[in-house]
Structure 1
Amino acid sequence: MSNKLIVDPSESRTRIAKKVTKLALPIILSNLLYTVESLVSIVLVSGISSTAVASVGYSASMLWFIYSLMALSYTGTSVLVAQRVGASKDPSPVFLWGLIISFLIALPLTFFGTDLTTFLMVKFGASEEVAKLSSEYLEPIFTFIIVGFITNTFYAAYNGYGDTKSPFKVALFMSFINISSAYLLIYGKFGFPKLEVKGAGWGVAFSEIFGLLAYLYLYLSYKKPFPIRFSLEKEVLFRILRIGTPTALERGITSLSFNVFVGMVASFGDKALAAHQVGLRVESVSFMIGFGFMIASTVISGQNFGAKNYRGLKYGISTTAHLTAFIMGLVGVFLIAFPDKLSQLLVKDKEVIHLAVYYLVIVALSQPQMAYASIYSGALKGMGKTQIPLIINITSFWFFRIIPSYIFLKIFPSPLVPWVFMSIETTLRAAIFYFAYKKTISKLV
């Protein structure tokens, strides 16, 4: 297969870095487009009120919890497609089971997703006003949640196969649909109804619908990501579930834990919550770079693991980790240098900007560590060891972030406390992931 990404340990690190960057760059750009969409949504609703900013931002955070269910299908599909490509086996059964699982998981969310999400937001400390506006934003998103889950499975199959350029083109199209429709519907431009916060939700829904249509067009016209042979192998279903379930649990529990963490910030008022969301959106530029390279590391790990090229796997992951840490470190320097200017791009409230500056300076110090944690986590997942990231992420989040924050907030009641422990926890988690990866790869090489 032409999409094999087998690493030769005799190649120079520069050549491997180019290969990894070529794979990761479309993923990074796709995720940066998603970041731009989130930023534009925040900017558009900022003209309504600071509560609207908090609502859209917090809703996006809560959606990460709901979307964690996608990980069951996404991770299993991506990893197994990569492994089967590396082993020169047909990836069709993996993709078909991924689509079926996505549909079955998303179906109940169509009916109960909005109420569940807003209920959790209130329990985690959001005000009733924030929850009410969030419900308006989330309603159209959950109406078409099945479409979103199926689109994500297509994305997983492309990435596992090694074709990251096609999903980027689809993401570019989806971003245009999201931003343009949100702009028209939030403020009622050119005769469209003025829906305010709900218009931002419809922007997301429309983008998912047109995204799925784009993927269907690519398959029907070009047989992308690969020709599908309609075959359902029970063994493949069990492997998807075995690989995907730990990641779904990891993301679900971590996301839920993250919202418990955000609730600590929300207890200081809507402006502190808005500052957290603004800082998170600015930082997400760096995070999405790490996420893109993490997906690339999963593909490289999976394909080389499937090909039993363990020395190449180790060499490729080492190169990817150092490259990602260097790039995210540069972004961290940028965050420290211009925190006020970056915050002002999203919000005009001086108090919100003041708090967001503290957030950005604190998290900037842990950007390289986040890179190492992401790459070693992706490598372990590519080898099918998804239970290891499950254990590390959950225990690290609670023992090094939430519990210390809870204790110290009683002594120093300030939103700076959870932000400081967020940076400390990222550093400790990176070290744990390194030792876990080193122990796992040493058994193979």
Structure 2
Amino acid sequence: MLNSDIKKILIIAIPAALNNLLDMLQVLVDMIFVGRISPVAIAAVGLSMNFLWVIYAFITIFSVSTNALVARFFGAKDFQNLEKVISVNLVLALIFSIFVAIFVLVFAYDFFFLFGKDKQLTESATDYMHIQAIAFPFLFAGAVFASTSNGFGDTKTPLLIGIAGNILNTFLDYCLVLGNLGFPRLEILGASIATTIADIFEVLIYIFLIFYKNLFKISFSFSKDIAKRSLKLGIPTGIERFVSSISFMFFIWIIAQYGTYVLAGYQIGLRVEGLAFMIGFGFSIAAMTLVGQSIGEGNLDKAYRLGIKSAIISGLIMQFIGIFMFFYPEIFISIFTQDPKTVKEASLYLKVVAVSQFPLAIDFVLSGALRGAGATKIAMFVNTGSLWLFRIIPSLILTLFFKNLIYVYLIIIAETFIKAFIIWYIFKKGKWKKIEG
């Protein structure tokens, strides 16, 4: 049974993890190319990525509810409602995307101006985000399509589409950021254009596979009951991600008080660490899918077992990567920049957070398992509450009174361990088994 469980987990988790790594790689490629321009360019793209985290909060409303409900209906073999889920979430996602795009176009400049009031940094980040807004409807639709495949347990298709998108993004970055192959040198704008085109390209592939290769069926009907059920599951996760994203932006504001080089180093450190926690996201998708399918089958013990095993496997892999982050940080950082001060600051961040990769994985994966069980409110309260009580407020106090960066980084470690213990305890307690998704 052990080998069978691990096989199920890995079949879903490995492609999902690789796909998440590809999402991170797309960001990394942008930063690698703009890193050849200036530290300000790195900081601008980094801030833009953090702003995109806020946008992804809205996307998760539909991606999480789609994944959880598709997995649940797939496990119960209720294919009629399964098709309705896809149709309903696609319509809702497209409507939301339009409002989000308008918000970004109107308020992006004011948002970035809060970070140090540096005009060049603000204008560069704003230009980057304005171009990205064009792709928002495609990002939302693509999330529904990918989550549908994940809910079936098919994480290979999103992976292959992600590979195609990354190849295109890298080629366009090479052409547009630095002005190669006869293209104009557009620098930060070039990186944003490349990413936007790649995002649109990926959704076009999904559309082709759905309508011409029967990847999955869409009912083209709107069900109010399914819409209510989807929003009931998705909104708590959206709120969680939105509050977390805003909170992380506030945390970045705290980091920015230590100077531009610290901010640039922190941004690069986050991208390198992302190579580890994207694996956690992949296993989180596996846990969400397998727990949802098991509940649909009516097998709660199987749901618990697969959730715990997914978390442990992910934790071991992430902590292994953490060892390399601790002993060889410069190898990873040098990909982005050669600036000595930035390398020093990024190395400090990586050495500190490297020790907390196992509990970080526990939090990621068991939070995903709870969402697959329909316990999205529980995950929301734990993750947002822990972030403020144990990370942001203590970091702000230490910054105001001591202005010592290492204290802030140690707070990050402590909060990660505390949150992992809480989420593990809640999952082990098993109240999520009584929730009707």
TM-score scaled by structure 2?
0.96
Counterpart secondary structure, 1:272 = helix
- Whether the 8 Å CA contact 1:124–1:260 is kept in 2: the answer is no
One-letter identity of the residue aligned with 1:230: F
Counterparts of 1:243 and 1:48 in 2: how far apart (Å)? Answer: 43
Question: Counterpart in 1 of 2:222?
Answer: 232
Counterpart CA distance in 2 for 1:324 and 1:188 is: 40
Is 1:171–1:211's contact at 8 Å kept on the other side of the alignment?
yes
In 2, Cα distance between the equivalents of 1:144 and 1:314?
38
Residue in structure 2 matched with residue 379 of structure 1 by the alignment: 369
1:305 Cα deviation after fit? 1.0
Q: What is the aligned counterpart of 1:318 among 308, 311, 314?
A: 308
- Deviation of residue 177 (structure 1)? 1.3
Aligned to 2:28: 39
Structure 1 residue runs without a partner (length 5+): 1-10
Higher deviation after alignment, 189-198 or 149-158: 189-198
- The answer as to 2:201 corresponding to 1:210 is yes
Give 1:286's aligned residue. 276
Q: Which amino acid aligns with 1:222?
A: K
- Judged with a 3 Å threshold, the aligned counterparts in structure 2 of structure 1 residues 66 and 442 are, in CA distance, closer, same or farther, namely closer
| CA shift for structure 1 position 273 | 0.7
Aligned to 1:86: 75
Equivalent residue in structure 2 for 1:120, among 103, 111, 123: 111
Report deviation, 1:194.
1.9
**Alignment RMSD, CA only?**
1.5
Partner of 1:76: 65
Q: Which residue of 2 aligns with 1:180?
A: 171
The residue type paired with residue 195 of structure 1 is L
Alignment partners' CA distance in 1, 2:99 and 2:206: 24
- Does residue 342 of structure 2 align to residue 344 of structure 1? no
Cα distance per residue 1:317-366 (max 9 Å; x no partner): 12111111111110111111101222112111101111111100111011
One-letter identity of the residue aligned with 1:419 = Y
Tell me the residue number matched to 1:4: none
2:408 to 389, 411, 418: 418
Q: d(CA) in 2 for partners of 1:416 and 1:243?
A: 38
Displacement of 1:443 = 5.3
2:351 to 349, 361, 380: 361
**1:175-212 deviation digits (Å, cap 9, x = unpaired):** 11111112211122222222110010011110111111
Change (3 A) 1:386 1:177: same
Structure 2: distance between partners of 1:299 and 1:118: 38
1:51 aligns with 2:22: no
Amino acid at match of 1:83: R
- Aligned residue number for residue 120 of structure 2: 129
Correspondence list, 1:195-206, <5 A: 195-206=186-197
- Other structure's SS at 2:181 match: helix
Shift >4 Å, 4+ stretches:
441-445
TM normalised by structure 1 equals: 0.94
| Aligned pair partner of 2:56 in 56, 59, 67 | 67
Counterpart secondary structure, 1:346 = coil
Paired residues of 1:111 and 1:143 also in contact (CA < 8 A): no
Residue 261 of structure 2 is matched in structure 1 by: 271
CA–CA distance in 2 between the matches of 1:110 and 1:441?
38
Contact residue 264 and residue 418 of structure 1 kept, 8 A: no
Tell me the residue number matched to 1:440.
Answer: 430
SS at structure 2 position matched to 1:190: coil
**Identity over the aligned pairs, expressed in percent?**
32
Distance 2:135 2:221 in 1: 28
